[in-house]
Amino acid sequence: MKFCTVKQYFDDENNNNVTNGIATTVIPLPNKHLKIKANNKEMEQYEQELLRNVMPQELTKLILAANYLNFKEALDFFCRTVANAIQNKSVDYVRKFFGLESDFEPGEEEKLCKEFAWSFEGVDED
């Protein structure tokens, strides 16, 4: 069931969404997941390893691939990994991580920061 898209992928020769390298990483994932599903610590370790060995660019491709293959667990996993990578980090760090540049007008960022800040600050999460 997880791989209904895979058949289509293999049938579709012109498919450019998923490069072979990515497919090699994504497809064995279910087995890996099943093995380490029970063990949270192992998952964390695997996540760390993935983060170290795989560049952000690869991660985004993995997300795209998982999405295309309709593989929810992998998609959750990769998105969560990206989220963990940018958790508690500064705005600049996040930009660097993804190779992005700010396209705000000068002063706009500061204004945005201040605009609703007080309405969020000190309010606990739901």
For the record, the structure tokens of 6 come out as 């895979």
Query: Which amino acid does the sequence have at 80?
Result: R
Which parts of 56-115 interact with another protein (CB under 8 A)? 56-57, 60-61, 63-64, 66-68, 70-72, 75, 79-80, 82-84, 86-91, 94-96, 98-104, 109, 112-113, 115
CA distance to 10, 84, 114, per residue, from 79 (Å): 25, 9, 29
Listed in sequence order, the residues at least 6 apart from 51 whose beta carbon sits closer than 8 Å to its beta carbon are: 81, 84, 85
| Residue 45 or 102 having the CB closest to another protein | 102
Among 4, 10, 39, 42, interactor with another protein by CB under 8 A: 4
CA distance to 43, 50, 56, 104, 123, per residue, from 80 (Å): 12, 12, 13, 27, 24
Determine, following the binding rule CB under 8 A, whether residue 125 of this chain makes contact with another protein: yes
Neighbours of 3 (CB within 10 A): 14
Determine, following the binding rule CB under 8 A, whether residue 29 of this chain makes contact with another protein: no
Determine, following the binding rule CB under 8 A, whether residue 1 of this chain makes contact with another protein: no
> What are the residues binding another protein (CB under 8 A)?
4-5, 8, 12, 14-17, 19, 56-57, 60-61, 63-64, 66-68, 70-72, 75, 79-80, 82-84, 86-91, 94-96, 98-104, 109, 112-113, 115-116, 118-126
